[in-house]
Amino acid sequence: MAHGPAHGLSRWLFTTNHKDIGTMYMWFSFAMFFLGGIFALIIRAELFEPGLQIVEPNFFNQMTTMHGLVMVFGAVMPAFVGLANWMVPMMIGAPDMALPRMNNLSFWILPFAFAMLASTLFMQGGAPNFGWTFYAPLSTTYAPPSVTFFIFAIHIMGASSIMGAINIIATILNMRAPGMTLMKMPLFVWTWLITAYLLIAVMPVLAGVVTMMLMDIHFGTSFFNAAGGGDPVLFQHVFWFFGHPEVYIMILPAFGVVSAIIPTFARKPLFGYSSMVYATASIAILSFMVWAHHMFTVGMPFIGEWVFMIATMAIAVPTGVKVFNWVTTMYKGSMTFETPMLFSIAFVILFTIGGFSGLMLAIAPADFQYHDTYFVVAHFHYVLVPGAIFSITAAVYYWLPKWCGRMYDETLGKTHFWLAFIGLNLTFFPMHFSGLAGMPRRIPDYNPLFANWNMLSSIGSFLFGAAQVLFLYIVIRAIVSGRKATDRVWEGSHGLEWTVPSPAPYHTFTTPPKVD
């Protein structure tokens, strides 16, 4: 098995190698992260002061929409799929993914989807401007003509995610090395297995809801049109039936990542492995029963509000189990604070803050006050940025030496961490206050009352953006001229991926390893 990768562009176009595809997913996600970041900075630049200075209100709405769509579907989800591609086969001792050709397809349709989505910015009538949640009738009756491109872009992204999920499940269920029982799998593999099932369950729902929009717009149906016997509120129910599991799709693999990193740098095995597995599964199951907490204010029977409120609060229990397990793993460990560990510890702390504001929002009567304010923006950015983005960053620092065989610069990595940490808190913490004071989300201009908090948020966002440019530099520098990494890389690392050389050879585990 000495044959290596093909040369030139055809290596990347026709590759069926899980490591090549993982790499492409990671770079694609990195590119989308910067694109979505630019949109975010346009938003924050406009909000630096009250009044309209930089962009037109309609363009502002396009920015909030595109920022959300690109970050969710372009940055976070492909990054986790990329990590799964790289790490899952190596962690379970498989030679490659179960369906390598489909793997190639599921990556290569993504750039087309996002080219199509981004091209709407240059179309007459502008890009989608109805928010990433694309509520009908804003996204049907009142949508710009480019909405059809948006719908097809979502279809393609959905197809890509579903193929990726099928591939991951098929790999995990059928290609584990002998002796690698389910309950011996690393937690990253477990969380991805559960995430993949969530994807299979809800990505078709997303495809369905955008297809219904397509039919309402072009074929005269009335799924969401009250005048024709439909109901716009039905849109919100279907969307959030997809949307709530979607937020766990973006966070469960992150749980897996920190569950790999914290034990490494605490030099203790993960506390409560099996409770972690069950907690992940419980969160996944509960995620299907809470969608209406996004729409407490649409008018629901009292019993409905009550049920969704209680179910939502119940999610705090398995999530709490996880947080306590991570903390207990660190307790009395001989900890060191390399960059991946710093990002993971920040993850635990800041994600918990996001979880608490989530609990506040879960209280139905209080939610009427918080609904559609910056408090909501603060909440979901506190779970997504330190949750998804920090864990992906931690994963890159943690596994990069295995991928390219070279170490990143530790001092620069720590600088990146502190800039990102300060930038993030400066950006999003003030949003709690502007939100509680009543500032609505998705507005280009605001009451001068909120000016100070917004100025702080804007300054923080540019700091956070600059930190990510540093991140790009650190990664490139490590690949080009980092010092050679050892096979174990980290003193406390455990698992099959560390038993192969650094950089990982093009083909690994062509004969299955023995797991005891």
Partner 1 sequence: MEKATRKTVVRLTLSTIAMFVAVFTIMPPLYTLLCEVTGLRKVGGAYEAEEIKVDEERWVTVQFVATHNAAMPWEFKPMDFKVKVNPGQKKVIKYFARNNSDKAMVAQAVPSITPFAAVNYFHKIECFCFNHQPLRSGESAELGLEFVVDQDLPKQVTTITLSYTLFDITEQAQAELAGLH
> Is 457 assigned a catalytic role?
no
- One of 90, 154, 180, 209 touching partner 1 (CB under 8 A): 209
Cβ contact 218:148 at 8 Å: yes
216 Ramachandran zone, left/alpha/beta (phi>0; psi -120 to 50)? alpha
Q: Does 231 bind partner 1 (CB under 8 A)?
A: yes
- One of 74, 230, 482, 503 touching partner 1 (CB under 8 A): 230
Cβ contact 93:509 at 8 Å: yes
Q: How far apart are CA 45 and CA 490, in angstroms?
A: 41
- With CA atoms as reference, report the closest residue to 104 among 19, 192, 29: 19
User: Which residue, 201 or 412, has its beta carbon nearer to partner 1?
Assistant: 201
- One of 111, 204, 333, 512 touching partner 1 (CB under 8 A): 204
Q: How far apart are CA 456 and CA 150, in angstroms?
A: 33
Q: How far apart are CA 15 and CA 6, in angstroms?
A: 8
And the tokens for 89? Answer: 């086969």
> Is 132 assigned a catalytic role?
yes
> Is 322 assigned a catalytic role?
yes
Q: Does 57 bind partner 1 (CB under 8 A)?
A: no
> Is 487 assigned a catalytic role?
no
Of 37-45, 164-172, 352-360, 367-375: span binding partner 1 (CB under 8 A): 164-172
- One of 70, 165, 177, 346 touching partner 1 (CB under 8 A): 165
Cβ contact 504:90 at 8 Å: yes
**Which residue do the tokens 């992150």 mark?**
254
Q: Is 175 helix (H, G, I), strand (E, B) or coil?
A: coil
> Is 96 assigned a catalytic role?
yes
Q: Does 241 bind partner 1 (CB under 8 A)?
A: yes
> Is 161 assigned a catalytic role?
yes
Separation of CA 435 from chain center: 24
- With CA atoms as reference, report the closest residue to 331 among 274, 273, 288, 268: 268
> Is 7 assigned a catalytic role?
no
Q: Does 154 bind partner 1 (CB under 8 A)?
A: no
Q: Does 226 bind partner 1 (CB under 8 A)?
A: yes
Q: Which of 18, 44, 268, 294 is catalytic?
A: 294
Q: Does 371 bind partner 1 (CB under 8 A)?
A: no
- With CA atoms as reference, report the closest residue to 384 among 36, 12, 26: 36
- One of 223, 464, 471, 509 touching partner 1 (CB under 8 A): 223
- With CA atoms as reference, report the closest residue to 158 among 201, 120, 188: 201
Binding mask 91-130 for partner 1 (x = CB under 8 A): -------xx-------------------------------
**Contact set with partner 1 (CB under 8 A):** 98-99, 162, 165-166, 169-170, 173-175, 200-205, 207-209, 211-212, 222-223, 226-231, 233-234, 237-238, 241, 299-301, 304
Catalytic machinery residues = 67, 96, 132, 160-161, 244, 246, 248, 259, 293-294, 319, 322, 441
